[in-house]
Amino acid sequence: MVVVNQFPSLAKKNLKLLGENLKAEELPNERVEKVAVGIGDGDWRGGGRSTSQEHKIKGNNEGEEAAREKNGRWWSTTLIEAGDYSNSEQSIAELVNFLNSISDSLIAEDHENEDPQKIAIDILTQIHQYMASPAVKQEIIDALAFELPKAVARFACVSTRCLEVAEDVVDLFVGKCSPRDMLSILCEAIGSPSELFIVPFYFIPLLSGLMKVLDLIQRRHYEQVKTAVPVILNVLKIICSKSEYEDTDYVKLFCKAAGIAYSIRAICVKLEGGDKKKLDALLGLYVLQIMALVSVGITSDVSGCLPLVLDLSDSLQHCELSYIGLITGFEVAMISKLVLEDDREYGMDCFSQVKLGAALAVIWGYMASEVAIAAKADLTAVIMELQGNWTKRWEAIGMLSCIFSCAILSWELKQHGIRFLLCIMDGIISRSDNDHLDYSMHMPTLYTSLQAIEMVIMYASSSELRKNAFSAFKKVLADIPTSVRFDVLRALLNNSDSSSMIGILLDCVKEEMRMGKIKRSSSADAVLNSEVRHSTSFWNPSVLELVEEVLRPPKGGPPSLPEYSDAVLSALNLYRFILITESTGNSNCTGILSKDKLQKAYNEWLLPLRTLVTRTTVESHKGYDDQLTASDMICALNPIELVLYRCIELVEEKLKHL
């Protein structure tokens, strides 16, 4: 152990500073002696000695005295007791460096014949006994408090038992030092761990201490809590970004974070007026952010974090946050404004997922009735309100899109999110389709929501989830007023690079046109009513532009095959459907039957595509040694070839009669 063998030189440096004032008899007890001897000699078995070491010590007439000297070196804080305050910072720094070298070794190295837990517990126990001694001056405790909590937390990473002892040591500092000082000390320790110790067990004793510090603060409560919250949340976010930890470790860490929420609640009870409202709002944002981080961080067993979610939901009702206010985002915006109005940059990073947390808070209530009970929410009433109010429903769809677009959220939670959305959409009582209303402010939200649902359709591994997501997609699309529905679909098509998704969207356009034609045909009114007029809004020249985007991409040339075979097939089917329908109905709403449009489609879309399909088919026979691959290529091209030749026949027939 190179690190351990360097310790004597550090101790001698401290002894030189101490001079004649160092007294070995001031040390706590003989157990320190045993640990120190083992450490000093390079034996890492918690104070035990190898046979050779025992022989060496016994053979030394001054062995006992040397052990006491090593003890004195280890407790270098006696420099402060000696009254040499000019060098106390240096002495404490050497002590901390020594402790850090031990914790580094215990974590990083392979201990074949050693017991890291015993070593760590011995050291933590001695620190605790020393700090708990009534003989230790407050000046010494205050000086050590600035450095030791962070050093102690590193030993917590050795084992669960070490974690418990480390918590006791940190709590001891909290009980003996100024709460305001300890708040700053703990926040600094939480916010600046070394790379090796960015693990849940390092932060747990520090969060435990912070939880108790908040209970002890007497003045400027809001400012003190506002200082601590970003530090906690940023660390939790970092931990959640790592995937190498066990879920149980996450749960223990987040339980401490939830415990801090209870400490903030206790402070809120003491306050009145504006400070109480602002602290309640800050608590609400804190809880929502943790709700998001908990849901993201624990993926293997979602039900395992249910007790934690229950605690968080209980805190939400304390902040008077309702499910309807959360799922529509209204109350999230309200408390965000209250906290951030004076400092727009504060919390922008640490509160970045509060909308996700708000949506998840409701989905957890949908998943487990006890969560809704903890939040004092009537979920049935919430669903009915959304079904009867299109504005709130669209806001809820926008909030739910945070769940669907979160790439690192479990598919189980997304499944429940889709089911909740279907539950809302299946019982819609009120839709909006008013010519006199301006829907433009709502369209960006609905557009991004549909994009988020597309991600579930494309990437979900479960066929049931993909099916449910597609059903939800169609229902949300149908809820958009028909006067603007075409524009939303066109925007989705223009911003999609997935052949399969483009094919699905073009099929949706075709279905809208089919339903619109049925409604128009069934109307016996001489003057079309508003519903029928809107239902035929897809029958316009712009629809041919959607076909052209696929068959003759903006970048030039025919589409790439077989990569875009799904999109090409859907575009050809849509073109054929429009051509046949306009021909048989003696109409030309889209302009498809005009000579110039027919010639453009024939010369620029269909013939180049036929050349490409023929060439690709030939190359598939020559270029692939793998018969299965060649067969797959031909299977992808055959449907395109059949529809393509039918379209060419129809266009040639129309051109003959012009």
Residue type for 344, please?
R
The SS3 of residue 347 is coil
pLDDT for position 23: 33
Neighbours of 304 (CB within 10 A): 13
Nearest of 162, 43, 180 to residue 114 by alpha carbon:
43
**Contact criterion met (CB below 8 Å) for 380 and 374:** no
Tell me the C-alpha to C-alpha distance, in Å, between residue 338 and each of 64, 282, 307, 359, 616: 66, 8, 29, 20, 62
Separation between Cα atoms, residue 470 and residue 476, nearest integer Å: 10
The SS3 of residue 370 is helix
pLDDT for position 517: 85
pLDDT for position 91: 77
Neighbours of 251 (CB within 10 A): 18
pLDDT for position 274: 77
Write out the DSSP string of 544-582. HHHHHHHHS-TTSSSPPTTTTHHHHHHHHHHHHHHHHHH
Separation between Cα atoms, residue 73 and residue 36, nearest integer Å: 9
Residues in the chain: 658
375's tokens: 């939040």
pLDDT for position 319: 92
Tell me the C-alpha to C-alpha distance, in Å, between residue 537 and each of 187, 485, 534, 550, 590: 60, 9, 5, 21, 10
Domains of the chain by residue range: 1-216, 219-377, 379-480, 482-658
The SS3 of residue 49 is coil
Write out the DSSP string of 580-645. HHHHHTT--SSSTTSHHHHHHIIIIIIHHHHHHHHHHHHHHHHH-S-HHHHHHHHHHHHHHHHHHH
pTM passes above 0.85? no
pLDDT for position 34: 36
**Contact criterion met (CB below 8 Å) for 553 and 559:** yes
Residue type for 282, please?
L
Averages of pLDDT over runs of 10 residues in the chain (658 residues) are: 37 34 35 36 37 40 42 43 55 85 80 75 90 87 90 92 94 93 94 83 94 89 90 90 71 91 91 85 96 84 85 93 97 92 70 96 96 95 95 96 94 96 89 72 94 96 96 95 91 94 96 87 53 65 94 85 92 96 89 94 94 85 59 84 95 90
Q: Scanning the structure block, which residue is given the tokens 């020249």?
A: 541
Residues 6+ apart with CB under 8 A from 145: 173, 176, 177, 181, 182, 185
Separation between Cα atoms, residue 29 and residue 401, nearest integer Å: 62
Residue type for 486, please?
F
Longest dimension (CA), the chain: 121
Burial of 408: CB neighbours in 10 Å, binned 0-12, 13-18, 19+:
exposed
